[in-house]
Chain A
């Protein structure tokens, strides 16, 4: 992985901006943390949807799983879980700061590892499906997980699960800062991992699977192995993102927060498509644009948000399937390292 000088300046600039952001915009700390989580989700969805050609609606499964696991571990390490959920967030049990951070650390590790294992276990069965069967199967998986977790008593069933409140450590700002830096750290980790992956042969194999899986197999690539590994990487980061989001929101509901196929599950697909799937920066740009649009204009719609969301999905999918990066690529192909033969281009225009 080599980094050119221009890129290095860009990365350092973004890193400095990321670290300074909560102090520059103290009022938007929660929004910035959510943005980090959204970028993580869009980027990891892109590994399946963009690079591998497997359009998954099911990454929400890992996100929700991570959310429930992180919160359950954080509570279960110190207090009886059943009584906690029964009390519904009443202040009968209070985490001390040390307990809270210990629980969070262990919880995040569990939240990352277990979804990865789950992805590995179900990967062989699910990833054998192709095209729309895969899409619908993963959609079913996500909804089933939501419905089933909504019936389990120990994690709150229908009335939800309150995550441990942030302990009193002095200043009022510390909660926002803690979650911001946590999510920013995960974002940086995700970016480094994904960028690393995209500069290796692994990415080429994923692209080969997308372009023609049968031919890739005929070339001697064990496609199933790579597909599962790709899904496990996504699951790892989705689980982490879910764990953080659970703590940030402070309340987990089975179908409205954790396995929220109608919101988060579609958002991650939409953000990746909006930015341009199959590119490193596309999902990041898409998530940022989407989040700014959503937070900036959501309040103007006054209850019509979902109507706007439905229209937005249809419009993006029909008129803008290549995304922002795809549009830029068409406009400035030289900047993407593509050599354009003017004659060939003119010939193609004439053909059209």
Chain B
């Protein structure tokens, strides 16, 4: 336990800003999860592994001398097709089955990806250096890497683009219609199979963007996927499906929570505190609902 963070207000400011910038990234991943959850009723445990895979794509570009920021464009394109491939091979067989089947199947995909990435890229912690420098605030007391500001900016940009796309385009309308009522959409001539594939592809592409940004700002490692899945799951259950401002807010809240947990409990308990927070949130919601004799559905 270390309470330095409360004695020096500047550390708190630092933690808050770091947390908010980090949280915007989490929100982007969570938005993808909310999308596929809402449309296909699937909880994708492999979400975090898709993020890490996207990160490795950017890292590879960096290794070959291309600036990793271009990964923000390349990675989602590759990940879109990876997502569609996963959908065609596995997900389309579990879409209308029991939710637990989809959880377990995607858990299998997650293990598979984890290990394949371990073979392909090695078990080292890596990051793609962007050379963006840092910004000093408040008399040089708060240090913000420009890469974090860049990543938050790009995340917001992608989120806005996606929202507009979902509102205006034909495919976006079809996706929203399928989310409301898949059967009715089918009757009215929407090719739901295609919509599902596109949704999963878009989700994977979002993961690709987030992964590329994470590889620039933080570090990536083949086994770091599951915490990202849990974070996005947590954000979605706090904010609810299809509530973008809520997703953004709870994402930032989670980011700030994590930074403070990091300062107070120590870095070794950071991931543990995230998982514990998930349990606490679920239990809190359960008690709140059980007063009305309801339960989380």
Do the two shown chains form a genuine complex with each other?
Answer: yes
- Which residues of A are in contact with B by a Cβ distance under 8 Å? 55, 125-126, 128-133, 135-137, 139-141, 143-144, 146-148, 150-151, 157-158, 262, 266, 269, 273, 303-304, 306-307, 309-314, 317-318, 321
| B90 contacts A by Cβ under 8 Å | yes
Q: A130-B295, A144-B272 are in contact. Are A313 and B111 (CB under 8 A)?
A: yes
A131 and B99: CB pair below 8 A? yes
A129 and B295: CB pair below 8 A? yes
Q: Which residues of A contact B97 (CB under 8 A)?
A: 321
Q: Which of B97, B111, B119, B278 is packed against the most chain A CB atoms within 10 Å?
A: B111
| B269 contacts A by Cβ under 8 Å | yes
B275 and A314: CB pair below 8 A? no
Q: Which residues of A contact B237 (CB under 8 A)?
A: 133
A132 and B275: CB pair below 8 A? no
A304 to B278 alpha-carbon distance, docked (Å): 32
A151 to B273 alpha-carbon distance, docked (Å): 11
B104 and A130: CB pair below 8 A? no
A13 to B107 alpha-carbon distance, docked (Å): 38
A262 and B296: CB pair below 8 A? no
User: Per a CB cutoff under 8 Å, which of B90, B112, B116, B269 touches A151?
Assistant: B269
Main secondary structure of the interface of A (DSSP, over half): helix
B114 and A306: CB pair below 8 A? yes
Q: A151-B272, A306-B115 are in contact. Are A313 and B108 (CB under 8 A)?
A: yes
Enumerate 10 A-B pairs (CB-CB under 8 Å) in ascending A order.
Answer: A55-B104, A125-B287, A129-B296, A143-B272, A144-B272, A144-B279, A147-B271, A150-B268, A306-B111, A314-B105
Q: Which residues of A contact B276 (CB under 8 A)?
A: 140, 144, 148
Q: A133-B296, A136-B233, A140-B279 are in contact. Are A125 and B286 (CB under 8 A)?
A: yes
Q: Which residues of B contact A309 (CB under 8 A)?
A: 108, 111
- Other A-B pairs beyond A136-B278, A313-B111, 10, CB < 8 Å: A128-B286, A136-B233, A141-B279, A144-B272, A147-B272, A151-B272, A304-B115, A310-B114, A313-B104, A313-B105
A269 to B297 alpha-carbon distance, docked (Å): 23
How near does chain A come to B85, taking the closest CB pair, in angstroms? 13
Chain B residues 238 to 297 lying within 8 A of chain A, measured CB to CB, are: 266, 268-269, 271-272, 275-276, 278-279, 282-283, 286-287, 290, 295-297
